[in-house]
Structure 1
Amino acid sequence: MATAIPKQESAMGVGPGFSIPDPHDIPSLKGKVSETEWQLRCDLAATYRLCAMHAWTDLVFTHISARLPDENGEERFLINPYGVLFDEMTASALVKIDLEGNIKQDTPYFINPAGFTIHSAVHSAREDAGCVIHVHTPYGIAVSVQKAGLRRYTQFAMQVHDDLAYHDYEGIALDLDERDRLINDLGEKNLLILRNHGTLTVGENCAIAFLRMYILENACKTQILAQSVGGAEHLHEDSEDMGHRVFQQAAPAFQRGLGDNLVWPSLMRKLKRTNPGHDH
């Protein structure tokens, strides 16, 4: 877990005895921000709750971010307040920051520097990074420690295998110098396995980033399950040619227009039924 509160003590007034407000107790920002920002806030808060629904959480220690439209020429994005669980995230609780990690709104919350390091790197380098999801799951981490990484064992894996990059572990992501290396490793890919650490996906919007993470996490889970009943000599890994073919077949599902309309609306209906309140 990336516990980095001391780094922000002077800037945020965080010290012994600090408290994290319940996100449902803070005033709603609806009508106080632009319609575009409010919709992005709602989509991002929903993404947090969807990750909780799929058990992709590590208490409060991972992050999802969304890029906001430029404000007076300045790039800004939304990220989670440190200390709020994914399943209780709300649109108004999300924190607006710039690429230097400065908070650009009135808020009772502070942010995790490790989240800023990773997400600011991707947003600064990729114009198409509307949303960045980073999680620590047992299956994703289990694949991240394997020298061969993700194998072409399943259809899940082959759908994303050609779009996957790797980044070596450098400790908890507090060193801003790591950003350049992370960006170089990611390149133009949309999925990243952070060695010994976790998984990350990029999308033009929350819907596409979530769908990529759904496929990647299931690819990791099925790989670990398959390996649990036998060594590599007992498993069939399909060919590179087949991997390329499946990747091309699946590509339309991750494009704007199909990727954000095929599954996302039904996920919003399910969220409304099972865990309403993200749009506070």
Structure 2
Amino acid sequence: MLLVDPLRFDVDSALAHYAEHGYARLGTLLNAEGLAALRERADDLMLGRVSYPGLFFQLDASTGRYEDAPLGLGWQGPSLDYRKLEKLELDPRFRAWLENPLFERIVRARIAGDIVLYRSILFHKGQAGGSNLPWHQDGGKLWGITQEPELQIWTALDDAPEDGGCLEVVPGSHRGGLVTPLGGVIPPDQVAAREAEAHRMPLPVRAGEVLLVHNHLWHRSGRGRAGQRRRAFSVCYMSASTRCVRKKKAPRVFTPVFRHTREAKAPQAGMAD
């Protein structure tokens, strides 16, 4: 599904920009066939034509307000109004994309040792425009893990123009760490104190483009354009040494990725090292 040679792509420059600014544009990486396949599968899942035990669903708010999105309902029948679909590593098409060799180069350049997923998730703004997403950070106690992940790779499955649900970021904000120990939505007084509106940078993209996003980077997105869907596939990678510390439910077990390359490089039994 890649449009570029994963071995020749300039990973170093992208990661240098990411380290300084908290994000990096990788350009258009997903080819037309891959784009069509992931779009089709996203709709298959929302409409129930394909299903996997354990897939997570969240419907969008009819009001367009993030705060009104229903919690804990899960699958509510066939609909193209789901806001989130999570655990997409269960699907072979999405799994193939998140394990492509360029993403592996990038991830291994930032994370040592074995790699697992915190999440692989589809964010969807439907034809009614979907809902806004306020300034937030992806981490903190809300995530319930022993160490903060830092690397997310975000793929646009539809165009996301500046006035149509694109990501907006505050460049360099990741260097300040978490605003609150809890993480998640940034309190309005902190948004005002740090003049986020004055420093915001929109990141409009075309379908097939890919972004790197640091978990602690301040980011948000507005509503999409009416009549135009905005689907984006986001994957958070982290070290396999990370553990879940939640108490109310059984601890999560995180899915390993890129194991095929480790296995291929390992010495085979009966062969000299």
The TM-score bracket by the shorter chain reads under 0.3
Q: What is the TM-score with the length of structure 2 in the denominator? A: 0.28
Higher percent of residues as strand: 2
Q: What is the TM-score with the length of structure 1 in the denominator? A: 0.27
Higher percent of residues as helix: 1
**RCO higher in structure (CA 8 A, sep ≥6):** 2
